[in-house]
Structure 1
Amino acid sequence: MNTIKRIDPRRPFIITAAGVKRITLGEIGSSDANVAHWPTLGHGGAAAKPRRTLTDPKHVLLVAAHSERGALDEHARQAVAAAALLADTHTEVVLVVFGELKDDAAALGVDKLVELAGFDRRVFAPESELQALQACVAAFAPKNVFLPDNAIGDGDLGRRYAASAGASIGAHIVEINAQHVGAYAHAKRAFATRSLPDVILLAQNAVDAKLPFVGAGERLLSDFIDVAAPAAQRTRDLGLEDLDAAQVALEEADFIVSAGNGVSDIPSFERLADVLGAAVAASRVAVDNGHFKRDKQVGATGKTVEASVYIAFGISGAVQHLQGIKDCRHVIAVNLDGSAPIAKRADLTVVGDAQATIAALIEQVQSARAAQAARGQPPAAVGNREPEGVAA
């Protein structure tokens, strides 16, 4: 007999620090008791967050993820937050990062960090990564292992580890609390739950990554991981193939430069985008002026983008444009008016002429690449790149 409940095809709930926001078959907040509640902090940002209470640690929740340019993406941060929210006062959160991490581990909710800087997300080395994860699991003996269920390495690593260890696994998890996990089934026409498996692969946006507390943030040596002698590879890495950033849809672009009414030298702007390997976007005014095609428009009446870096040149920041970049991780504004609306949204504002800044950036990038070439080093990877593929 099929015991899987049919549900409305909406996300059943999202776990937050204040409890579980749940909407399943009209049931609201039924799982709140299973999640620790933390005091709500104001939005002023001045108050220091308290450290998560940890006494006599006996257990570990381990999170593994790849970094990109020294940072974790939002999906990986959500996986860390899931472990931090589920950890009790006797449980430490350990984060294993494949690659360099410049983020503040404590702010992510991490108690102990193992940074495996010898790994590169752009290199396909599944056997070596599996060997490293197995060594970390052996060292910390975690109750559960968390990974973001994505298509860029973490999901694959989690499945490989579960298969090698004979561990139970839950994939595409959209619901999680201290007792169970849940995932859609039958093409989202049904929903299934089970007790927490050994390996938990979280779907995106199942957890709110904003935490009202911090972890200990202790960085550990990775001397128990032999990254210098990787496991024998049974796959061949064919490397990366450069992809013209102009061919990347704005909704998928990770690095975007955007022009507004303050950009008068369009050829120089497009040259900068080419030099940086960034996708090109524009404000509604720049599109209406005929400088760019309509598919480049960002805003309420254009595209909504989720880039890691969005650089706005000569854009004042109308409400409609700000709505289109609300999900960007880092926004940099270049504007003559330091009090323009976009400056309130930007993480960094350069008060200056857009054309002069564009010319200076082009010169700096070219100088840096020339210096690298003189030292015999390959140019740093920039822009939007896609994997060429791998062969067994």
Structure 2
Amino acid sequence: MNDNIKRIDPRRPFVITAEGLKRITLGEIGNGVVLDLASMHGGHKQAVKARRTTKPAKRSLLVAAHTDRGALDDHARQALAAAALLADDETEVVLIAFGEFKDDAAALGADRYIELPAFDRRSFAPDEEVRALTACVAHFAPVRVFMPDNATGDGDLGRRYAARADGSIATHVVELDHAHVASYANAGRAFASRALPDVVLLAANAVDARLPFVGAGEAVSAEDIVPVAKVSAYVDLGIEEMDAAQVALEEADFIVSAGNGVSDIGAFETLAGTLGAAIGASRVAVDDGKFTRDKQIGATGKTVEASVYIAFGISGAVQHLQGIKDCRHVIAVNLDASAPIAKRANLTIVADAQETVKALTDAAAAARAARAGGGSIMQTATVAEGVAA
């Protein structure tokens, strides 16, 4: 045995890092105080991203996309990133947001943006949207226009605008650089490319939306740029409401899911019906016979891509987390703040799942009654505050 080897004594003094970890280091004396080892030893810290350019803009690239609940989806963010990556230091990136916009435009790569809250993704007003986009193009005079090529409004708007403006267009673009764009042809058996057109409709996942820089993020008023809407030639009959219970979990946009912490299944199903959400469950809840197998979410069940996923009383096994990895907003309700699902959740409510189900049901019913009786927004906000408390 070699007695010359230095060993760490687990009982010797230690330091506590900013992350709350105990560290015992040979040659250093600790006293149990909190110490920022990252700054002492050159550890990595989250770097502040620099502005893409600070030079005056001589030209612009325009990105147009519809928002969903005030935010751009991943496909729209990729289109914005594509424009930002192709822009030189004398080119600004301008975002036209059709709908309410609450995202951080600078972090997404936009130098300037216009919010058009009058245009909702759920309504159908193609002529007015083309008029608005045409007016923005006339104002900013962009070199070209980028849009996500999707089936929820942007792809249709891009094609209508290109036809109206008699401009060149490339659709389903999967590859682009400063000189060309490319798309699959002949059912994916061939690859077609051409010079950059006036309008680029980008396929999903063609560009990484994560950028190494930020834009200026300056808001521009739509007044005096976008014309006042006229009476549309179309009659929008709205979206036909569907019973959320009849929607397949893989297609559901709003899901409430129950785990072992939910004991009153009837109350949980009532909440789902009140919120208009589809019902999911953990494997434990399914194995206990509380839900049928087709409701199971996870690696051994179904993988979902909901915009909102609320997990009641689910601890978050690895298999379950795999099933919700593509969900946009995850809310966890659990008594254990250190449960694995809390690391995945965007918001964790440390509370009893059954009590929270009842509180949300009461709040939703009160909010509906307030709206039906002409109650004010303040009354509804008071109800929400009561749930949060």
Which category describes the TM-score, using the shorter chain as reference length?
A: 0.7 to 0.9
Report 1:140-159 matches (<5 A). Answer: 140-159=140-159
Structure 2 partner of 1:362: 361
Aligned-pair distance for 1:99?
0.9
Letter in 1 for 2:161: Y
2:307–2:329 contact (8 Å) kept in structure 1: yes
CA distance in 1, matches of 2:129, 2:100: 14
Structure 1 partner of 2:99: 99
Structure 2 partner of 1:206: 206
CA distance in 2, matches of 1:83, 1:290: 51
Aligned-pair distance for 1:76?
1.0
User: Equivalent residue of 2:114, what SS?
Assistant: strand
Structure 1 partner of 2:289: 290
- TM-score, normalised by the number of residues in structure 1: 0.82
Q: 1:227 to 1:274 in 2, by over 3 A?
A: farther
Structure 2 partner of 1:372: 371
- The reply to whether residue 274 of structure 1 matches residue 273 of structure 2 is yes
CA distance in 2, matches of 1:261, 1:316: 8
Letter in 2 for 1:76: A
User: Equivalent residue of 1:316, what SS?
Assistant: coil
2:135–2:227 contact (8 Å) kept in structure 1: no
Report 1:158-307 matches (<5 A). Answer: 158-226=158-226, 228-230=228-230, 232-307=231-306
Structure 2 partner of 1:127: 127
Aligned-pair distance for 1:309?
1.2
User: Equivalent residue of 2:52, what SS?
Assistant: coil
Letter in 1 for 2:324: I
Indicate the larger mover: 70-79 or 338-347: 70-79
Aligned-pair distance for 1:291?
1.3
User: Equivalent residue of 1:234, what SS?
Assistant: coil
Structure 1 partner of 2:58: 58
- 1:170-204 deviation line (CA, Å, top 9, x unaligned): 11111122221111110111111111111111111
- 1:106-158 deviation line (CA, Å, top 9, x unaligned): 11111101001111112110000000000000000111111111111111000
Q: 1:275 to 1:203 in 2, by over 3 A?
A: same
Q: Which has the higher contact order (CA 8 A, sep 6+)?
A: 1
The count of residues paired between Structure 1 and Structure 2 equals 336
Aligned CA RMSD, in angstroms, stands at 1.9
Structure 2 partner of 1:16: none
CA distance in 2, matches of 1:168, 1:199: 6
User: Equivalent residue of 1:79, what SS?
Assistant: helix
- 1:41-86 deviation line (CA, Å, top 9, x unaligned): xx98843222212313111111111111111111111111111111
Aligned-pair distance for 1:301?
1.0
1:130–1:157 contact (8 Å) kept in structure 2: yes
Gapped regions of structure 2 (runs ≥ 5): 1-42, 381-389
Structure 1 partner of 2:31: none
- 1:75-109 deviation line (CA, Å, top 9, x unaligned): 11111111111111111110001111111111111
CA distance in 2, matches of 1:121, 1:67: 7
Q: 1:74 to 1:273 in 2, by over 3 A?
A: same
- TM-score, normalised by the number of residues in structure 2: 0.83
CA distance in 2, matches of 1:198, 1:377: 47
Aligned-pair distance for 1:214?
1.3
CA distance in 2, matches of 1:253, 1:197: 36
CA distance in 2, matches of 1:267, 1:45: 48
CA distance in 2, matches of 1:130, 1:45: 45
CA distance in 2, matches of 1:321, 1:45: 31
User: Equivalent residue of 1:95, what SS?
Assistant: strand
Structure 2 partner of 1:332: 331
- 1:342-380 deviation line (CA, Å, top 9, x unaligned): 1011111000100111111111112222222222899x9
CA distance in 1, matches of 2:181, 2:366: 52
CA distance in 2, matches of 1:268, 1:176: 52
- The reply to whether residue 346 of structure 1 matches residue 345 of structure 2 is yes
User: Equivalent residue of 1:237, what SS?
Assistant: coil
User: Equivalent residue of 2:53, what SS?
Assistant: coil
Identical-pair percentage:
69
